C-alpha cells in the first residue's frame, strides 16, 4: 500500500468533487484532505499517475506535493497570523 501526496487547489465545495472523482478508482483505501494547506493524501494500491489524472478529470488543478509546497505552506501560515514582521532598517 502506498501513500501519495498531492497539492490540489480547492475552495469549500471542491472537497466533495474531489472525493467523488477518486471514488471511481479501484484500489483507493483512504483519502485525507487538508483544505487549509490544499494538501490531499491518498492511500491505496492505485498508481499515482492514475490518481492525478482522476483529480484533474474532476476539474481540479492538481500536482504532486513537493518540499517547496511545504515551505510555502509554512510561510503563508506565519504571514497570515502576523507573527512574521520585517523592519526596513535591518536590511541595510
CATH 3.30.70.100 fits 2-82, yes or no: yes
> Which residue, among 52, 75, 72, has the nearest Cα to 6 in the 3D structure?
52
**What CA–CA distance (Å, rounded) separates 86 from 12?**
32
Instruction: Dig out the grid coordinates for 65 from the structure.
Output: 506535493
Residue 86 confidence (pLDDT) above 80: no
pTM: 0.70
Q: How far is CA 92 from CA 75, 80, 87, 88, in A?
A: 23, 26, 10, 8
Give the C-alpha separation, 79 to 11, whole Å: 20
Render pLDDT for 1-47 as a digit per residue (tens, 0 to 9).
889 999 998 877 778 888 888 888 999 999 998 888 889 999 999 99
Amino acid at each position: 500500500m502506498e501513500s501519495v501526496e498531492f497539492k490540489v487547489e480547492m475552495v469549500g465545495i471542491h472537497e466533495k468533487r474531489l472525493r467523488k472523482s477518486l471514488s471511481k478508482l479501484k484500489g483507493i483505501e483512504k483519502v485525507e484532505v487538508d483544505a487549509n494547506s490544499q494538501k490531499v493524501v491518498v492511500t491505496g494500491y492505485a498508481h499515482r499517475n492514475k490518481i492525478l489524472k482522476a483529480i484533474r478529470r474532476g476539474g481540479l488543478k492538481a500536482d504532486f506535493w513537493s518540499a517547496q509546497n511545504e515551505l510555502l505552506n509554512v510561510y503563508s501560515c506565519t504571514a497570515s497570523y502576523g507573527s512574521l514582521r520585517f523592519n526596513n532598517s535591518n536590511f541595510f
